[in-house]
Amino acid sequence: MADSNKPESGGLGQAISNFFAPVAGFGVTFGNMFRPTVTEQYPYVKHPTPPSYHGRHQLNRYPDGLEKCIGCELCAWACPADAIFVEGGSNTPDEQHSPGERYGRVYQINYLRCIFCGLCIEACPTRALTMSNDFEIAGPTREGLIFTKEDLLAPMREGMLAAPHPMREGTTDRDYYKGEITGPTTDQVEWVKANRPEDETLTSAAKAAKNGTVVTS
């Protein structure tokens, strides 16, 4: 019969272990207290992202100001997260937003769903959709993370003429796709001047058309 008064094997070591158990986890803390800090000082110090970084999307324009998006919805079909909603519209002589017959009337990207995989970029046939290096898209509300077409459109560059306006005279949509459009023409400027005389892009576009300036998109 075993002696009940005999201490169990390893009793002293177990007692010491139990004594230091509540503070054992602080060993990691104390071991790192005097090491150099590696904390990123964001947002005060921002490190540049690589050129291939997948950030916020951008809807691009042609050098004359027409939109590249043709409302084909291929980006929405390619999205594995169902984060993109596109609704196409028909161009008319008075409302020509992009070359050809169609344009993206409604365009939304839900950044609550987007996984930034870039499949939508690969699916776009006109290079209308690209991804920028902007990663600061957080917001205080869920509604604010659903970006609309106005949020995604690239800013107007110097010399561009805001759409809608007719295509460059004597050209087809293929000429736009092949990159043969370098800027607005005098006829396009005159059309906007007659239909939207208050347009803020008229001055720079008229100057670019007169001087034959090549506008980068």
Asked if 103 and 69 touch (Cβ cutoff 8 Å), the reply is yes
Query: 19-28, 120-129, 165-174, 190-199: which range is least confident on average?
Result: 19-28
pTM: 0.79
Residue 164 has pLDDT above 90, yes or no: yes
Q: CA-to-CA distance for 191 and 182, rounded, in angstroms?
A: 18
Residue 4 has pLDDT above 70, yes or no: no
Residue 202 has pLDDT above 90, yes or no: yes
What's the pLDDT at 99? 96
Residue 113 lies in a domain: yes
Residue 216 has pLDDT above 90, yes or no: no
Give the dihedral of Cα atoms 14, 20, 21, 24; nearest 10 deg. Answer: -130
Beta-sheet strand order (sheet of 146-147): 84-90, 102-110, 146-147
What's the pLDDT at 34? 81
What's the pLDDT at 6? 52
What's the pLDDT at 15? 79
Q: How confident is the model at residue 21 (pLDDT cuts 50, 70, 90)?
A: confident
Residue 15 lies in a domain: no
Look at the chain and report how many structural domains it folds into: 1
What's the pLDDT at 62? 97
Residue 123 lies in a domain: yes
- CA angle, 108 as apex, 107 and 111 as ends, to 5°? 155
- Find how far residue 110's CA is from the centre of its chain: 11
Asked if 98 and 67 touch (Cβ cutoff 8 Å), the reply is yes
Q: What is the CA radius of gyration of the chain?
A: 30
Asked if 56 and 134 touch (Cβ cutoff 8 Å), the reply is yes
Residue 72 lies in a domain: yes
CATH code (residue 159): 3.30.70.3270
Averaged pLDDT, 182-195: 96
Which of 45 and 111 is assigned the larger pLDDT? 111
Residue 115 lies in a domain: yes
Segment 117-158, tens digit of pLDDT: 999 999 999 999 999 999 999 889 999 999 999 999 999 999
Segment 55-105, tens digit of pLDDT: 999 999 999 999 999 999 999 999 999 999 999 999 999 999 999 999 999
Residue 31 lies in a domain: no
Residue 209 has pLDDT above 70, yes or no: yes
Residue 38 lies in a domain: no
Give the rounded percent of residues in the chain with a pLDDT score beyond 90. 72
What's the pLDDT at 9? 52
Mean residue pLDDT across the chain: 90
Residue 91 lies in a domain: yes
Residue linked to tokens 């590249």: 68
Q: How confident is the model at residue 36 (pLDDT cuts 50, 70, 90)?
A: confident
Domain membership of residue 190 as a residue range? 57-211
